[in-house]
A and B are shown apart, each in its own frame.
Chain A
Amino acid sequence: MKIENLTIKSAHEGLKNGDFTSVELTTAYLKKIEEKDEEIRAFVTVTKDLALKQAKEADEMIKRGEMTMLTGIPCAFKDNYLIKDEKCTASSKFLENYIAPYNATVVEKLKKQGAVFLGKTNLDEFAMGSSCEKSAFFATKNPRDLQRVPGGSSGGSAAAVAADMCVYALGTDTGGSIRQPASFCGVVGLKPTYGTVSRNGIIAFASSLDQAGPITKNVTDAQIVFEAIKGVDEYDSTTVEYVEEESNSFKIGVPKEYFAEGLDEKVKESIMVAIDQYRKMGAEIVDVSLPHTEYALACYYIIAPAEASANLARFDGLRYGQNIDGIIENRTNYFGSEVKKRIMLGTYTLSSGYYDAFYKKALKARTLIKNDFEEAFKKVDVILGPTSPCLPFKLGEKQEDPMAMYLSDIYTVSVNLAGLPAISIPSKNEGLPIGIHLIGQPFKEKALLKIANNYDR
């Protein structure tokens, strides 16, 4: 059977009309992974037995008339989501043999709907990176150009969706890790509002920034997955109850700071074309200003490592495999250099003598960044800009200077600092993929997705 360009909606129709069964669909995807993943290397683990078992159950559910939009549809998870009795490595040597003892809340929610889990996808170790090259196991390639990186850290998930090795995938986004790889691979990536999706059972990186979300073929699919995974969870005290009101307002803010120095000309051109297309669709385009934009990356590179240094303290070799003799030896031998660097940066900025100058200063800068958005959202419904300042870069190209790599997240990190929802959708340019970044107001995903969908159609 042909699975190229299947979306959740089209796969659902096929299952509903009896054109194919979930077992047939799942088998086709497993075959595709077998053929294609040797080249792309998106998957750390393929959970074939689990997938086929779930597909059989899904076919039973469909027969019984218990079908939802996601029943029987094959998906993939970034390898930092726990799936009970399957390996969960976070692409780290530290967790190479770790078997998850329970399901993440997101996994549990999708399982209840009869989703099919094809496997676990590659990431930069513990989600720390922007290219997937920092995986302790192997680098993933961009299906659109095999010389180039798929982005990161959810690069395996984005590559798997782009290469038709799953219908949709789940990722996590701490500073752009869903949106930047979606942009690089030419697919859709949604980072929901902080507090809408449970982080329970997802390996923590920076807890005040981490959020889970979907990577999909189009905006409609992103909405379907978001609706399925959101909601208050007693196991994550940051999840909140809310109701979103309907809105038909169509005002798009364009911040001048997003078009400053450092933006690739081709990216700029594509975004300008997108703005023009929105104008033609009847959107009101409004100039806005986010004056603290230039401080966002510095703020992020203090807060995220600080929280990471605390979160990764649990990896002592006692509770998650390795051996009990020598905490320092375990951490030294099994963490990669990027992870070590970030733990040490966090330790440094939280240590006495540097706490006020670095960490506390960053928390205050975060307030200024958040206030900028609040001001802008008094005038507009969404803010539009590029997802990444550069095109997908070549493997090995940004390995020398860490700041060169970090700069590829310059537009995405401020969204996490402010806790906002944002989506990357592919622009309609020729050549390498370019992502349009739409930022919404907190807990107003419907309005954001509606505006994104207008362009996507």
Chain B
Amino acid sequence: MISSEEIKNIAKLSYLEIKEGEMEEMRKSFSSILEYVKKLQELNTDDIEATPSVIELESVMREDVAKDNDCDLMSSFSRSKNNYLEVKKILYNED
């Protein structure tokens, strides 16, 4: 079974925290799913191409011109200032 340490590390990478009371349940179901998906290791896929999408994806280019619209994306921001999204400081001066 996957260890608590590993779960904590994956949670950290996912910007999540697993509380003590949830740990056993998470370890159990996480392990049961991992065990199941390991089934794929039986398959020989040596000369097989990967299919990330069933559609041939191409980059779509357009002129960088704003279109008229009345969509107010900023209304859902938790905090904004001078028409910008306000976030906490992420760069600090070491001094």
Query: Which segment, of A114-122, A336-344, A433-441, faces chain B?
Result: A336-344
Asked if A50 CB lies within 8 Å of chain B CBs, one says: no
Choose one: A319, A370, A402; the contact of B54 (CB below 8 Å): A370
The size class of the interface chain A forms with chain B is 35 or more
Asked if A101 CB lies within 8 Å of chain B CBs, one says: yes
- Give every chain B residue within 8 A of A263 (Cβ-Cβ): none
Choose one: A324, A340, A347, A370; the contact of B87 (CB below 8 Å): A324
A351 in contact with B13 given A324-B88, A341-B29 (CB within 8 Å):
yes
- Give every chain A residue within 8 A of B15 (Cβ-Cβ): 313, 316, 327-328, 331
Do A298 and B39 touch (CB < 8 A)?
A: yes
Max chain A C-beta neighbours (<10 A), residue from B34, B37, B73: B37
Q: Mark A320-360, 1 if CB is under 8 A from B, else 0.
A: 11111101110110010100110111011001000001101
Asked if B57 CB lies within 8 Å of chain A CBs, one says: yes
Asked if A295 CB lies within 8 Å of chain B CBs, one says: yes
C-alpha gap A365/B77 in the complex (Å)? 41
C-alpha gap A1/B58 in the complex (Å)? 52
C-alpha gap A341/B10 in the complex (Å)? 10
A240 in contact with B76 given A316-B15, A341-B26 (CB within 8 Å):
no
Choose one: B13, B41, B58, B87; the contact of A318 (CB below 8 Å): B87
- Give every chain A residue within 8 A of B29 (Cβ-Cβ): 341, 401-402
Asked if A61 CB lies within 8 Å of chain B CBs, one says: no
C-alpha gap A318/B88 in the complex (Å)? 10
C-alpha gap A348/B69 in the complex (Å)? 39
C-alpha gap A143/B94 in the complex (Å)? 62
Do B45 and A328 touch (CB < 8 A)?
A: no
Do A348 and B10 touch (CB < 8 A)?
A: yes
Do A295 and B54 touch (CB < 8 A)?
A: no
Chain A nearest Cβ from B39, distance in angstroms: 5
Do A347 and B13 touch (CB < 8 A)?
A: yes
Asked if A362 CB lies within 8 Å of chain B CBs, one says: yes
Chain A nearest Cβ from B65, distance in angstroms: 13
- Which residues of B from 1 to 47 have beta carbons under 8 Å from A? 7, 10-11, 13-19, 22, 25-26, 29-30, 32-34, 36-43, 45
Do A366 and B88 touch (CB < 8 A)?
A: no
Q: Mark B50-72, 1 if CB is under 8 A from A, else 0.
A: 11111101101000000001011
Do A370 and B16 touch (CB < 8 A)?
A: no
Do A324 and B50 touch (CB < 8 A)?
A: no
Do A319 and B43 touch (CB < 8 A)?
A: no
- Give every chain B residue within 8 A of A348 (Cβ-Cβ): 10, 34
A295 in contact with B43 given A319-B85, A351-B13, A401-B32 (CB within 8 Å):
yes
- Give every chain A residue within 8 A of B22 (Cβ-Cβ): 337
Do A299 and B40 touch (CB < 8 A)?
A: yes
Nearest neighbor of A309 in chain B, beta-carbon distance: B14
Chain A nearest Cβ from B33, distance in angstroms: 6
- Give every chain A residue within 8 A of B41 (Cβ-Cβ): 357, 361
C-alpha gap A8/B26 in the complex (Å)? 45
- Give every chain A residue within 8 A of B77 (Cβ-Cβ): 318-319
Max chain B C-beta neighbours (<10 A), residue from A98, A298, A323: A298
A419 in contact with B36 given A101-B73, A327-B15, A341-B29 (CB within 8 Å):
no
Chain A nearest Cβ from B1, distance in angstroms: 14
Choose one: A194, A325, A363; the contact of B55 (CB below 8 Å): A194
C-alpha gap A295/B43 in the complex (Å)? 9
- Give every chain B residue within 8 A of A340 (Cβ-Cβ): 11, 14, 16, 18, 26
Known pairs A298-B38, A328-B15, A401-B32 / 5 extra A-B pairs, C-beta < 8 Å = A309-B14, A318-B78, A348-B10, A358-B40, A364-B48
- List residues of chain A with CB under 8 Å of any chain B CB: 98-99, 101-102, 194-195, 208, 234, 237-238, 240, 292, 294-295, 297-299, 301-302, 309, 313, 316-325, 327-329, 331-332, 335, 337, 340-341, 343-345, 347-348, 351, 357-358, 360-368, 370, 401-403, 406, 418-419, 442
* 11 CB-based A-B contacts, threshold 8 Å: A99-B76, A102-B71, A294-B39, A318-B77, A324-B87, A337-B22, A341-B26, A344-B10, A361-B41, A363-B50, A367-B48
Minimum-distance CB pairs A-B, first 3: A419-B54, A363-B50, A364-B45
